[in-house]
Amino acid sequence: MPRWTTLPGSRRIRLPLALTAAALTLTAAAVGGDRLVAVWAEHATAAAFQEATGATDTPSVHIGGFPVTRQLLAGHLDRVTVHAGEIPAAGDRPVPLTRLDLRMTDVRAESDPKTARAATVDGTALLSYADLSRALGVRVGADRAPGRVDVRTDLPLLGKVSASATLAVAGPTSIAFHEVHLDAHLPAAADAALVQALEQPITLRDLPAGMKVTRVRVDSAGVRGALTGRDVTFTPREQAGQAV
């Protein structure tokens, strides 16, 4: 008699356990499958972003939200984070973006399969002192005074000359030197050489259309520009160049 009372009870216990194990197995399979889809989507997004910006190395991309499969079927990605380095620039005084970090929301493909649009984009662009120095033809580095940069160059007969300056937003995609303090003992020729190097704004070329610089700060690594944008378009470089 005890055997018959125990056996039905054990069956009643095993059924929920079996259902739970099956649910966990299906969930794990779904999560694993969705992760594979996410990896594929991240790789494709990285390749498209590299083509759009000309980044030297393949960017790092992370797609947020779950499940990613459902987002792709709906035709948009909820959240995308991109970290890219060494984005070249062209034109006068080309200053490459040493690093570009972006957080995007509601990323959708356009009718052109090579073009994408993001509802909002926020991020940071880093211009290293080395890249700034090569582009401007003068040595730019961190100044002892917080929030300022030190600018130096060598002039024939005069030797080393220097100045100190801050940087500020000069336009939607440009920054400029401000509050320039020249060495009080510099002759007029040296003053003119430094002013000429610093007077023109620096344009952050190859930013996606719709993005703008909102503020600038300096630190030991270089100059950082805070970026923001609404309805931002990512287009391959050659197409962007044809549209200009």
d(CA 197, CA 210): 29
**Lowest-confidence range among 16-20, 38-42, 123-127, 171-175?**
16-20
Is the pLDDT score of 14 beyond 60?
Answer: no
Q: Which residue has the tokens 């079996």?
A: 18
The model's pLDDT over 227-237, given as tens digits with 9 standing for 90+, comes to 999 999 888 76
Q: Which residue has the tokens 């059924």?
A: 15
What is the chain's mean pLDDT, rounded? 80
pLDDT for res 25: 41
**Lowest-confidence range among 13-17, 113-117, 220-224?**
13-17
Which whole number is the average pLDDT over 168-192? 82
104 band by pLDDT with thresholds 50, 70 and 90: very high
Greater confidence, 161 or 7?
Answer: 161
The model's pLDDT over 54-83, given as tens digits with 9 standing for 90+, comes to 888 999 999 998 888 888 888 888 999 999
pLDDT for res 123: 96
Which whole number is the average pLDDT over 168-196? 81
**Lowest-confidence range among 22-26, 131-135, 153-157, 214-218?**
22-26
Report the run of H or E that residue 149 belongs to, with start and end: strand 149-155
137 band by pLDDT with thresholds 50, 70 and 90: confident
pLDDT for res 50: 86
Instruction: For 88-131, list the strands marked E by DSSP.
Output: 97-109, 116-128
Mind giving me the DSSP string for 162-192? Answer: EEEEEEEEEETTEEEEEEEEE-TT--HHHHH
Give, in order, the Cα–Cα distances in Å from 203 to each of 54, 137, 169, 173, 227. 17, 16, 10, 6, 13
**Lowest-confidence range among 74-78, 104-108, 152-156, 240-244?**
240-244
- Burial environment of residue 81 by CB neighbours within 10 A (0 to 12, 13 to 18, 19 or more): middle
The model's pLDDT over 194-221, given as tens digits with 9 standing for 90+, comes to 777 788 899 988 788 899 999 999 999 9
Which of 99, 130, 127, 124 has the alpha carbon at shortest distance from 201? Answer: 127
Please list, in sequence order, all residues whose beta carbon lies within 8 angstroms of the beta carbon of residue 210, skipping any fewer than 6 positions away.
121, 229, 230, 231, 232, 233
- Burial environment of residue 227 by CB neighbours within 10 A (0 to 12, 13 to 18, 19 or more): buried
pLDDT for res 189: 64
